[in-house]
A and B are shown apart, each in its own frame.
Chain A
Amino acid sequence: MIKVSNLSKRFLDQTVLDDISFDVSKGEIVVILGESGVGKSVLLKHLIGLITPDSGSVYIDNIDITKLSEKRLLKVRKNIGYLFQEGALYDFMNVFENLAFPLVEHTSLDNETIKNKISSILKMVDLEGIEKKYPSELSGGMKKRVGLARAIILDSKILFCDEPTSGLDPIRSRDISDLIRSIVKRLDCACVITSHDIKNSFRIADRLILIKNGKIAAIGSKESIESSDNKFVQEFIS
């Protein structure tokens, strides 16, 4: 479903991504781990075409999105949900309007259906009855949940989550991680998450990728990462 092939990116004299290759299948959760500033978010932005690589390709359903124009990318992105670190909700819209936005833009659903869909998706993220609240009235965890609801409201085939647990307490981190896992399994979509939250990443990931100095230091299942004899891997996960 997603295939990343020999992806490289430099910013001035700094190599951020160096020959990165991996793939993600339908229904699979891949977590990209690494220290802060290692380029995890940059990698995720490549996967949705927000950044163009210096070399390499990103295939989504066998289409190399690095070669697409912005107009064609906008069409591709209709099938992709993206959860930002802070939710990135429109602060001039209330929760209902934020969630209705993708539906109004990309579907021809009537008002009643939109209302029902929003109610059910808010129930799914355990935030019933907050339709009229504005983002400024929500806590960090609630903003992420609404952001997640907006990301999947079009029944996305792919979900990208950028640091979904950053800034949250351990209980909220666990909740949102479990929520992401249950949504991915329910929608049967491919999911890529960036994180430096080792504990929750190991709980929800099907596979993990560890990045160091722009390169993949380790890739594999939880068990293979845990049993890796790579010194950096052991140091990072311990």
Chain B
Amino acid sequence: MSAFFTLLFRNRLAALGAVVIMAILVLVLTIPLLPLRDPDVTATADRFMRPFAEGHLLGTDHLGRDLLSRLLHGTRLSLAVGIAAALIAAAIGSAIGIVAGYFGGRTDNIVMRGVDMLMAFPYILLALAIVAALGPGLMNALIAVAAVNVPFFARNIRGITVGLAGREFIDAARLAGMGHTRIILTELLPNVLPVIVIAMSTTVGWMILETAGLSFLGLGSQPPQADLGSMLGEARSAMISHPHTSIVPGLMIFLIVMSINLLGDGVRDALDPRLRSGALSRPRATTLVKRQGGVPLATDDLLAIQDLQTEFHVGRRNLRAVDGVSLAVKPGECLGVIGESGSGKSVTALSVMGLVASPPGVITGGAVRFQGEDLIGAPYETLRQKRGDRVAYIFQDPLSTLHPLYRVGQQLAEAIQSHDDMSNAEARARAIQLLNDVRIPNAERRAEDYPHEMSGGMRQRVGIAMALANEPDVIIADEPTTALDVTVQAQILSLLDDLRRERGLAIIFITHDFGVVAQLCDRVAVMYAGRIVEEGPTRAVLDAPAHPYTKRLIACVPELGGGRRELAAIPGLPPVLDDLPPGCAFAPRCNRAEESCRQGEIPLRGQTLRAVRCLFPERAL
């Protein structure tokens, strides 16, 4: 509870709203103690006095009545009526909702159909019809406003109740022989009460406004009694000659509604856990770069990732997702990057083109060089022109990575036209050609499909076609076959292999599957906790793993026809990245670890093509 208030008041606007509404409440509650004039005493001689006049702080109205006194009395009436309407609507609506949700079946059906009918009306119109039938008057306006808000509560509370009614504690109460009434009152009600309170806090401002509105139309409070709405309504005829009589009550309604809105937003934000973690931030067009330290010198590789550091800044925590990774590919080469989920392999890949979601991602060091040109911190347009054109991506789950509302042909054509000034017809022809290239049968017709109309394998082919669209030099494939079944996976892999050989593509292939690496990659790098722990030619690493982690990872792969053997799962979990122990991050899970493993930096040692980050490797390189 105190955490809730801390959150609420960290939101300065919500605090402001709370202060304003409290001040207004205190003012209207202390009316009997304040030295106010009688709000209904008329003095025609003193009519339309301006604010700050002698004895009338806010002036007087068309009958010479003191505006300050009328304002406070009117505010009290408006608040009382609005809150009463909210309470009535909440009570009746919640009762309907609980009954419908608890009993379910036909009761639920009939009641909710009725509620739906009420909701089919434009809101104010229904209130007008009720006031029309009952006749103008403050009480009738209150009833009307309460009545039109009943469906809102009924619907919300029913939803919550349906969820609760199926839970064990309700069944238990029933088995204990409790009657329906008792279950509803003692078991259900306490659980839905918080929801009712929240729903009330978000609607009470609206109801105050609505009753004021009806009074403004002359259908609510009748003279001489006045709430804020009828004050404004009466002042309207003199609005042009004496605007202050309109502005005073109008501003008060505005203040009340705004402070309640601010407070309501604050309550909602404090209760919504997604907002608490700041997860509702949208990612920027490129990853944020805050590079510390020097920039490594250029090499002659096609694409070189040099000492890359990428962090996630979440609240006060800094997660080092990628911690000094260096990788490079040459044309026609396929490099595998392997590791468990969370080892930083995808973040490494996304950092290349500045695609790490930011916030929370920040690139804090190193360089990514394409043909020698550093892309880290490059202007957006430079990156955009390379994205998809020189360096293309294939992502894991093509159902979520393809646009759900565009036809696949359209999406391909757009990828092409983003880099090539080409007519729509040409782009379309090229898109169909691409679909043919990735061996999609009936390409012409499939181009008209939406992603959800295709199978997983077909969608992944579309993803590959998209990556090929601009004949890039490098393709970064981030677990492109993980979501697919084995036969489709094999087809996709051989497709990628063919393309690489035909077109001289460089491929960085990210996976957690050594079987896939063995099939496709020339070289492999093994990542753990944001670092490369071993690298080398695929055969060498597979046949003679040097790092204990690599060895365990290979042992995890079941082998077909390999007979019965124990599958060696690696005990423990990957470490938390904001609290890495000094030394080797794998040490806590490693059976070869010694004291020295936990003390200080362990370098990646070996030749350029074969290296390991371990003090006690399985075998010397």
Q: Do A and B come from one complex?
A: no
Chain B residues with a Cβ under 8 A of chain A: none
